[in-house]
Structure 1
Amino acid sequence: MKIIIVDDDPLVCQSLQVLLSREKDIEVLSTANNGAEAIECCKNLLPDIILMDIQMPIMDGIQATRQIKQDWPSIKVMMLTTFQDEVNIRRALLAGAEGYLIKSTEVSKMAQQLRALNSGISILDPDVLKQLTQPEKKELNQLTPREQDIVKLVVQGMSNKEIAEALFISEGTVRNNLSIILDKLQLRDRTQLAIYYWR
């Protein structure tokens, strides 16, 4: 199994290269410090798997993953990151990543996960899977003041038109803000929003 390690922290690259190279069936072809370098490595080396960080300069891991999966669909991408938030997880998976591991994962376990990924099994760290299936609700106080105003009027049973008139904004602005509110709170509709508010 041939892999490339991509991380903007040289120490992470070096450590993983040394530790994973001890595994008999893993060959670390190269390391890269950003997504653009990862793409160049793919052109020259054609790895089986890329261990890809998310936050990097020049080109981040999600942009690079999207490009790599487009140009080399057979190359598998395992995101390796400290980020466990739902937005980054979903963005990575939508970009085509087949796996998502947290950097605190033990190297022996990481090697097992790489083998599983190489055999065609998608890999999600248990904590990541929990984040996707049981996301934590964000509190109402994390909404902007305008969004909080809209929520208060929604739970009073006002229509978008009535809210627009009350706040001196357009109905389109109300609709857009309401979509953002529901997304932030991970709710489906106005009814769920009202129930959530009163709870």
Structure 2
Amino acid sequence: MKIMIVDDDALVCQSLEVLFSREADMEVSAIASDGKEAIDVCLNNLPDVILMDIQMPNMDGIQATREIKRRWEQVRIMMLTTFKDEDNIRLALRAGAEGYMLKSTPATNMAQQIRVLVSGSSVLDADVLKTITRNQDSSEDMKILTNREQDILELIAQGHSNKEIASQLFISEGRVRNTLSIVLSKLDLRDRTQLAIYYWKRN
């Protein structure tokens, strides 16, 4: 997979490039120092996944994420930052980021987390998850879901792909996709990331 690193800290970029060079299935295809440069790079060298810092000059990571997802919806974006405050987390997820990982994440875990992200699942650092679910009350709206819909919601929140869910529940991938669409509609949510957040708020 092709990875773009977007960070204004050259040392961070170099360290990540060395880390991913050890992975047979990963290639750092581009490095950008701010959001505007990242968009320019995407025009000629579209990556599979982008590791995006938040605070950068010219254009921050949240603005860049919003614009990149508008133009190239298929690109997966993982925020990789030191910030774990609720405002930044929510803004990044609303902008379209599918993952949010802290720079303090052990290097051995980063590559695997990126593979999970590219497979179609959302990735939220444990500390990030605690931040956005803190002081949230349980809600009655889970009751509008059938037992099967709740089963699929739980497996999505645990990071399973449609194929894995179908295998565990002994149903077709098509039924998983259809049920997922129904759950999103019932809960008025946009995507798997929001579903995972919704689930963990209530559990």
CA RMSD of aligned residues (A): 1.1
5+ long unaligned stretches in structure 2? 137-203
In the other structure, the counterpart of 1:42 is 42
The 4+ residue runs of structure 1 with deviation greater than 6 A are: none
Please list the CA deviations of residues 83-107 of structure 1 after superposition, one character each: whole Å capped at 9, or x if unmatched.
Answer: 0000000000000000000001112
Give matches, 1:1-199, under 5 Å: 1-134=1-134
Instruction: Provide the rounded CA distance (Å) in 2 between the counterparts of 1:21 and 1:128.
Output: 27
Secondary structure of 2:117's aligned partner: helix
> Matched residues in 2 for 1:29 and 1:135: separation?
41
Secondary structure class of the residue paired with 1:64: helix
Structure index of larger Rg: 1
Query: Structure 1: any 5+ residue segments left out of the alignment?
Result: 137-199
State the distance in 2 between where 1:108 and 1:115 align.
12
Q: What percent identity do the matched residue pairs reach?
A: 65
Change (3 A) 1:135 1:42: farther
Structure-1 residue corresponding to 2:188: none
What TM-score comes out, normalization by structure 2 length?
0.66
2:80 partner SS: strand
Question: Are the counterparts in 2 of residues 49 and 76 from structure 1 also a CA contact under 8 Å?
Answer: yes
Helix, strand or coil for the counterpart of 1:29? strand
